[in-house]
Structure 1
Amino acid sequence: MNVQMTGRRCAIMQPTFLPWAGYFHLMAAVDVFVFLDDVKVVRQSWQTRNRILNCGQSQLVVLPVLGSDSQAIAEVHIDERSGWRRKQILTLRQTYARAPFGKAVVDALAPLYGDESLTLLADFNCAVIERLARLLEIETPCVRSSVLAPEGVRSARLLNLCRTLDCVRYLSPRGSMQYLEEDDVLEPAGLEVSYSAFEPGPYTQLGLPFVSHLCIVDVVAFLGFEAAAVYVRTGQAP
């Protein structure tokens, strides 16, 4: 008999750059959310890039960083030499100028892009994610793994984070299912593991063919924060 456990539920994710809607779906579904920022950075990954809509096509936007792949995410500095902050905000404004809520979402991000005290990759990404989460009516408390300093690697690290936070239920993205099942650590240790079932449905993008799995900026630009709050929870535009 499958007995569902009660108790605190957490999700653990690396702090990605302008995440997609499914990231916020995880945040909204748990009691505590952990930014996994004490693992090694992967420079050409979602940690430093994501996708926006440009002329009906997916286009990458990139957060330039310094350092090497041997550094933890929390240690990586942003590369300020290119003037990327001003350029990227301008790109977002121009790209979403015709979207009904484009100005609102870019205006929400602009103060963080202008905050030059956010010199570390993790600091910037976490600040953006938490700002957007609040505007999407997600009140889940967030904590950084670099503050908790867990031991272990891979699934053992996740287990120790869950125990530190007194969480007995773990919500994972489906992309992690294979390695979690291979490691076979969490459930034998007594955690209830479940996987996100988020499926992003279509929404209107200026009457063009729908392009899925773009960053959250696209969702909010076309739906607005109120409707986007429904979308990240259900995968459907209201």
Structure 2
Amino acid sequence: MQPTFLPWSGYFHLMSEVDIFIFLDDAQFQKSSWHNRNRIPLNNAPHWLTVPVLHQQLEQTLLETRLKNTTPWREKMTKLLEQAYAKHSFNDEIGSFIELISNDNFTSLAELNIALIKIMSQKLGIKCQIIRSSELDIPGIRTQRLISILHSVNATEYLSPQGAREYLIADGFTEQTSISLSFQQFTPQVYPQRKADHFIEKLSMLDVVMNIGWCDSKAYITQIYLGN
């Protein structure tokens, strides 16, 4: 999976379902994508949190994508997060994320995203082994490279997000390897969102945590959450 910014609950559900999780940190950066933005609720509507980055070359990877430090975006974003979740039941949990976002030692988008995902997964009790594709040094593109990566870690089954179904089938994944292919099955549930007059779906996982805490959030991503 590509390391995206403060991803939604489905991302962590997939992590909880596998033995080995591979960050595709050398995938190509895409402008106006989940790579550097996600949503939280503000005034009963989804609000984008966007990490400003430098787009220096056409095919730069997430690892090569540098954070733009010429504007005070870190301070603005952390203040917005503090204000948005100030009165939530679990607002004291925001500190770990604010600390990472505020840390100007992170200069790469991939490094920031991976740090945020790792701390979230640890607090959710996810135990999978984590590998970065940039460390494997495997050439190729699309499905061909994916299969090579899977062979390099001796995988016997690949759990894919639903969004990749079309191109994996079109590329003939199952014809090229004996590794079995399955697709993630995750249906996000309604959870209580503070002072919301309607439920806003598919926000950052951070919103789930701020509203129901770590214990219920773990139940949420493993689809045993019973609600409040």
Per the normalisation by structure 2, the TM-score is 0.95
Contact 2:216 2:225 in 1 (8 A): no
Q: 1:237 to 1:220 in 2, by over 3 A?
A: farther
User: Please, which runs of 5 or more residues in structure 2 have no aligned partner?
Assistant: none
**Structure 1 segments of 4+ aligned residues over 2 angstroms from their partners:** 185-188, 235-238
- Offset of residue 107 of structure 1: 0.8
State whether structure 2 residue 119 is matched by structure 1 residue 93. Answer: no
Contact 1:40 1:73 in 2 (8 A): yes
* Alignment match of 2:130 (pick from 103, 122, 142): 142
Cα distance in 2 for residues equivalent to 1:133 and 1:173: 17
Could you list the per-position Cα deviations for residues 9-33 of structure 1 after superposition, in whole angstroms to 9, with x for gaps in the alignment?
xxxx000000000000010100010
State whether structure 2 residue 106 is matched by structure 1 residue 118. Answer: yes
User: Please, which runs of 5 or more residues in structure 1 have no aligned partner?
Assistant: 1-12
Could you list the per-position Cα deviations for residues 57-78 of structure 1 after superposition, in whole angstroms to 9, with x for gaps in the alignment?
1111101101234211111110
Count of residue correspondences: 225
Per the normalisation by structure 1, the TM-score is 0.91
Cα distance in 1 for residues equivalent to 2:138 and 2:226: 38
- Which residue of structure 2 aligns with residue 42 of structure 1? 30
SS in 2 for 1:73: coil
State whether structure 2 residue 191 is matched by structure 1 residue 196. Answer: no
Q: 1:117 to 1:207 in 2, by over 3 A?
A: closer
Structure 1 segment 3-82 matched on structure 2, within 5 A: 13-66=1-54, 67-82=56-71
The letter of the residue matching 2:114 is C
Cα distance in 2 for residues equivalent to 1:229 and 1:94: 25
Contact 2:78 2:102 in 1 (8 A): no
Contact 1:200 1:235 in 2 (8 A): no
More displaced 10-residue stretch of structure 1: 147-156 or 180-189: 180-189
Contact 2:162 2:184 in 1 (8 A): yes
Cα distance in 2 for residues equivalent to 1:98 and 1:174: 35
The letter of the residue matching 1:218 is D
* Percent identity for Structure 1 against Structure 2: 35
The letter of the residue matching 1:198 is F
The letter of the residue matching 2:144 is A
Structure 1 segment 158-173 matched on structure 2, within 5 A: 158-173=146-161
**Alignment root-mean-square deviation, CA:** 1.3
Cα distance in 2 for residues equivalent to 1:232 and 1:56: 23
